Chain A
Amino acid sequence: MSAARFVRASWSVRACEIATGVILAWAGLAKIGDLATFAGQIHNFRILPVAFENLAAMTLPWIEIVVALTLLFGIRSRDGARTALVLLVVFTLAVVAAVARGLDIECGCFGTADASHVGWRKIAENLGMIAIAAVAARGPALPLTERLSGAARLETGDARP
């Protein structure tokens, strides 16, 4: 099966939706348990102004959980997959920025139980997750603008095989 067919097959999209949903639900739940630590981990990235760190720590895990629920239950799952994709890209950029500045800090990606530090390995993991989320968002190798505007055509065509 070619990559393009894999991306278009509905079962692979569904599988990737569930995989992304499980990952995000796990990440979100792990963070909600210890807000203070997560806020500290955000602070370590030195990306956000200090004033926004707590707001991010309060809301990010819940956004992850809402997105995970849409993906797991298949309700508005395309919106969920796109949001997951954006979140993962932003997280990956944060890790890349931290690595580029030589920060040796905990990722905080999966809460306190996960003591993994930022580094190339984490970036590779994230790229893998981005790929899965991209399939869930039905992301064939088309330019984003064309994908967004052409999505309807593709999908209606797909709906009546």
Chain B
Amino acid sequence: MSDPTTTATTVPGARTALRGMALLCLAGAALGTGYNALGLEARDGWGLPWIGRDRLAELEASATVVGSSSAGTTTSADPYVTQISDPRAVLAGAGSGLPEIPAADHPVQIEREALRQYVDAGAALVVDAREPQEYEAGHIPGAVSLPYDQVATDRQRLEQLDTGGRPIVIYCGGGACELSLSLAWDLVYSGHARVAVYMGGYPDWLAVGLPVVTGTEP
């Protein structure tokens, strides 16, 4: 062909072809890693520090569990609590004795009993991360539908989510809780500080016979 060097490189056959392909992939990978290492793509929570990190394991290892015996009063001194400017937050949570969902740069876990108190008091924005059909078939009272598969790429919608100054509690269909976790991290990256995940999800809520609502309304 017109390019003799290319012809020459393919003469020894398949092994050389594979070596050539591997070389290109390595070059690309090196450029990509370098680009991110230099901080040219600086965005919290993404990039180099996240290689090899499993968000699920992170949450389970480090998270405050709201409502469990280990949480309790340790978060009451959180400086962020006093900085909430939305008056509705005061109305919703003040003096209610609810377990505190702390402000953090990562989601925390919330236990069923703590979530029940929040639902009764209307003190949290409860978010259903499942599909709309699942939401319609039954959801936690007061929960709004925010299907992860719809909002995952809609950062603006997440950033503009009106929590009324309340913390956000996310649940999905239980299991590995992938939807909730992904949505929780996206909300944290979108600027929401108090985000909790109810790992048991809807099945756990149903299992103890707590009230549910059917239909498209919260």
Residues of A within 8 A of B (CB): 10, 13, 32, 35-37, 39-41, 43-44, 46, 49-52, 54-55, 57-67, 70, 74, 76-80, 82-83, 86, 103-106, 112, 115, 145, 148-149, 151-152, 155-156, 158-159
Q: Which of B77-85, B90-98, B149-157, B167-175 contacts A (4 or more CB under 8 A)?
A: B149-157
**4 pairs of A and B residues whose beta carbons are closest in the complex:** A63-B28, A79-B20, A62-B32, A59-B32
**In the assembled complex, how far is the CB of residue A108 from the closest CB belonging to chain B, in whole angstroms?**
8
Cβ contact within 8 Å between A54 and B17 = no
5 contacts between A and B (CB under 8 A): A32-B35, A35-B36, A78-B9, A80-B24, A104-B149
B48 contact set on A, CB distance < 8 A? 58
Give Cα distance in the complex from A40 to B178, angstroms: 12
**In the assembled complex, how far is the CB of residue B41 from the closest CB belonging to chain A, in whole angstroms?**
5
**In the assembled complex, how far is the CB of residue A42 from the closest CB belonging to chain B, in whole angstroms?**
11
A37 contact set on B, CB distance < 8 A? 153, 155
A148 contact set on B, CB distance < 8 A? 13-14, 17
Instruction: Knowing A36-B189, A63-B24, A82-B17 are in contact, say whether A155-B10 is a contact too (CB < 8 A).
Output: yes
Q: Which of B4, B6, B149 has the most CB of A within 10 A?
A: B6
**In the assembled complex, how far is the CB of residue B79 from the closest CB belonging to chain A, in whole angstroms?**
27
B186 contact set on A, CB distance < 8 A? 40
Interface check B206, CB cutoff 8 A: no
A159 contact set on B, CB distance < 8 A? 1, 4, 7
Give Cα distance in the complex from A77 to B9, angstroms: 11
B10 contact set on A, CB distance < 8 A? 78, 151-152, 155
Interface check B27, CB cutoff 8 A: yes
Cβ contact within 8 Å between B51 and A79 = no
Which of B6, B9, B31, B51 interacts with A51 by CB under 8 Å? B51
Cβ contact within 8 Å between A35 and B28 = no
Cβ contact within 8 Å between A158 and B46 = no
Which of B7, B14, B51, B152 interacts with A156 by CB under 8 Å? B7
**In the assembled complex, how far is the CB of residue B188 from the closest CB belonging to chain A, in whole angstroms?**
12
Interface check B29, CB cutoff 8 A: yes
A152 contact set on B, CB distance < 8 A? 7, 10-13
A62 contact set on B, CB distance < 8 A? 28-29, 31-32, 35
Give Cα distance in the complex from A78 to B181, angstroms: 43
Q: Which of B12, B17, B56 has the most CB of A within 10 A?
A: B17
